[in-house]
């Protein structure tokens, strides 16, 4: 079974803090994704990565950056957290090869910025 | 460009009743379609997917969905609701580009009452 883990289930940070959210997958997947989930808006793509050190902006990249130094790990960084970044953050991974096209999700990190 | 519309942000059914969650999509290419479920405080889990072939797709936990090209729909059904089906359900379509990117609907929260 594919396993995607996220470093924290719940996180509380202060406005202006630098925040790191970590995601690790154990299936050697090339593609990794960061979403934020807000009520009534579904999942919105922040950034994705298709290989080590490769990244592309999603639909809402403002205020975020990412890092992928190893294939299994994809980090989301909030350079200066703001209250409007309070949300649920979901990481996912998938493989393009022989593909079933589905994404596998981690349990999510609920971030509160005060 | 692809898009997904889920009709009804909240659906409530009685235990044992039919579950019908509606999803309409827009796609300029033959769509790859997915239904995911999210139980409270968890990540998303794949219920079923349509890639090609039979338009009636069976998934886990007794759910199924029918792809109707003429109606651009991919509605999710279950003949008899169970209390454990209470969750949020997301319909998604794969984008036409690479990297297995998905576009998600806003979600439908299903409540099941005795």
Min Cα–Cα distance to chain A from B57, Å: 14
- pLDDT of A100 strictly over 90: no
- CB contact B107 to A (< 8 Å): yes
Question: B56 in contact with A at a CB cutoff of 8 Å?
Answer: no
Distances (CA, A) of B78 to B15, B51, B97, B107, B114: 11, 20, 32, 17, 17
B110 closest CA partner among B13, B7, B6: B13
Helices (H), chain A: none
In chain A, which residue's Cα lies nearest the Cα of B107?
Answer: A42
pLDDT at A81: 97
Residues of A with Cβ-Cβ distance to B90 under 8 angstroms: 42-43
Sheet holding B19-26, edge to edge: B3-7, B19-26, B73-78, B64-68, B56-58
For A40, the closest chain B residue by CA position comes to B106
pLDDT in tens, B41-99: 889 999 999 998 899 999 999 999 999 999 999 999 999 999 999 999 999 999 887 77
């Amino acid at each position: 079974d594919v396993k995607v883990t996220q470093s924290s289930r719940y996180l509380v940070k202060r406005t202006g803090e630098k925040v790191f959210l970590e995601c690790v997958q154990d299936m050697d997947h090339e593609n990794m994704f960061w979403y934020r989930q807000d009520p009534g808006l579904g999942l919105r793509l922040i950034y994705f990565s298709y290989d080590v050190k490769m990244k592309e902006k999603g639909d809402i990249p403002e205020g975020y950056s990412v890092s992928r130094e190893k294939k299994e790990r994809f980090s989301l960084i909030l350079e200066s957290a703001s209250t409007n970044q309070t949300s649920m953050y979901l990481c996912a991974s998938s493989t393009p090869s022989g593909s079933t096209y589905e994404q596998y999700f981690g349990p999510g990190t609920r971030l509160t910025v005060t | 460009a692809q898009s997904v519309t889920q009709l009804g942000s909240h659906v409530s059914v009685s235990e044992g009743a039919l579950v019908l969650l509606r999803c309409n999509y827009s796609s300029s290419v033959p769509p790859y379609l997915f239904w995911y479920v999210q139980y409270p405080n968890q990540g998303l889990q794949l219920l079923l997917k349509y890639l090609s072939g039979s338009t009636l797709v069976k998934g886990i936990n007794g759910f199924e969905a029918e792809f109707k090209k003429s109606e651009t729909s991919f509605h999710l059904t279950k003949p008899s609701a169970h209390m454990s089906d209470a969750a949020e359900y997301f319909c998604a379509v794969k984008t036409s580009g690479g990297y297995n990117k998905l576009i998600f609907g806003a979600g439908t929260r299903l409540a099941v009452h005795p």
